[in-house]
């Protein structure tokens, strides 16, 4: 038996690298986090994986019974229909851990987490979606001789996220996916005409082009 170590910027990168090296899927990989540093300029994670002389991960079912039995004692976490489900560890095993996705606020028992965090079957794991409302922008620009006006309209939705479904594992790397997009109301013709009047644009407006500005996807 030998121990292989993998060091990358993130835990996810370490797992991908180990799986490539051992030619196994992520759900079969069993590893131990040796080091995890997250700084302003440097981020580093190191994991260790036990393998036999043939290079196989010892978490496979046909390997040493002690290793298999130990892993069976560990608690697990999975995501089903957007909800994190925890299975408790048995005596002698270790509780599962979860790693939140970047740019998403995740709370465990009311406390926001930023790094790998131990959880149990009683943990309340929630996403805190941002309260920032959807936005819309209307910009009008004229050429130098003031004979042509150019309109740009953008709509920015408010995204509501949920956890992406994931298989059962002792260390769960959470990922997010969009549950719902809430868009602002589309600009009406009267609103666009008012914006044009504010720029003293009142003559020579082409009706067909004005109608194109009513597209709910925005326009340039």
Where residue 212 falls among pLDDT bands split at 50, 70, 90? very high
Please answer whether residues 119 and 97 qualify as being in contact, where contact means their C-beta atoms are separated by less than 8 angstroms: yes
Taking 50 as the threshold, does the pLDDT of residue 201 lie above it? yes
Identify the weakest region by mean pLDDT among 28-42, 83-97, 175-189. Answer: 28-42
Q: What pLDDT digit, counting tens, does each position of 95-111 carry? A: 899 989 888 899 999 99
Provide the pLDDT for residue 57.
57
Provide the pLDDT for residue 30.
84
Taking 90 as the threshold, does the pLDDT of residue 214 lie above it? yes
Q: What is the pTM of this model?
A: 0.58
If one compares 15 and 136, the residue with the highest pLDDT of the two is 136
If one compares 2 and 136, the residue with the highest pLDDT of the two is 136
Q: What is the mean pLDDT of the chain?
A: 85
Provide the pLDDT for residue 59.
47
Provide the pLDDT for residue 64.
43
* Alpha carbon distance 156, 75 (integer Å): 41
What does the pLDDT average to over 21-39? 79
Please answer whether residues 109 and 84 qualify as being in contact, where contact means their C-beta atoms are separated by less than 8 angstroms: no
Provide the pLDDT for residue 71.
64
DSSP string across 154-207: EEEPEEEEEEPPEEEESEEE--EEEEEEEPPPPPPHHHHHHHHHHTT--SS--H
* Alpha carbon distance 3, 11 (integer Å): 17
Strand partners, 113: 106
Phi, then psi, of 136 in degrees rounded to 5: -140, 150
| Strand 105-108, strand 111-113: pairing | antiparallel
Provide the pLDDT for residue 40.
61
Provide the pLDDT for residue 1.
62
Provide the pLDDT for residue 63.
40
Q: What pLDDT digit, counting tens, does each position of 56-87 carry? A: 555 444 444 444 455 678 899 999 999 999 99
């Amino acid at each position: 038996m030998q121990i292989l170590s993998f060091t990358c910027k993130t835990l996810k990168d370490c797992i991908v690298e180990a799986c490539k090296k051992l030619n196994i899927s992520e759900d079969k990989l069993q590893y131990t986090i040796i080091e995890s540093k997250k700084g302003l300029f440097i981020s580093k994670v190191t994991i260790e994986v036990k393998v036999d002389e043939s290079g196989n991960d010892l978490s496979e079912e046909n390997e040493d019974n002690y290793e298999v039995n130990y892993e069976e004692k560990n608690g697990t976490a999975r995501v089903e229909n957007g909800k994190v489900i925890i299975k408790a560890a048995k005596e002698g095993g270790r509780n599962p851990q979860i790693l939140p996705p970047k740019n998403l606020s995740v709370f465990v028992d009311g406390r926001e987490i930023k790094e790998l965090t131990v959880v149990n079957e009683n943990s309340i794991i929630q996403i805190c979606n941002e309260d920032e409302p959807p936005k819309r922008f209307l910009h009008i620009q004229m050429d130098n001789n003031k004979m042509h006006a150019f309109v740009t309209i953008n709509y920015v939705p408010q995204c509501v996220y949920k956890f992406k479904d994931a298989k059962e594992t002792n260390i769960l790397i959470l990922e997010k996916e969009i549950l719902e997009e809430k868009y602002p109301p589309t600009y009406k013709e009267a609103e666009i005409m008012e914006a044009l009047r504010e720029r003293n644009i009142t003559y020579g407006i082409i009706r067909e082009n004005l109608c194109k500005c009513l597209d709910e996807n925005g326009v340039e």
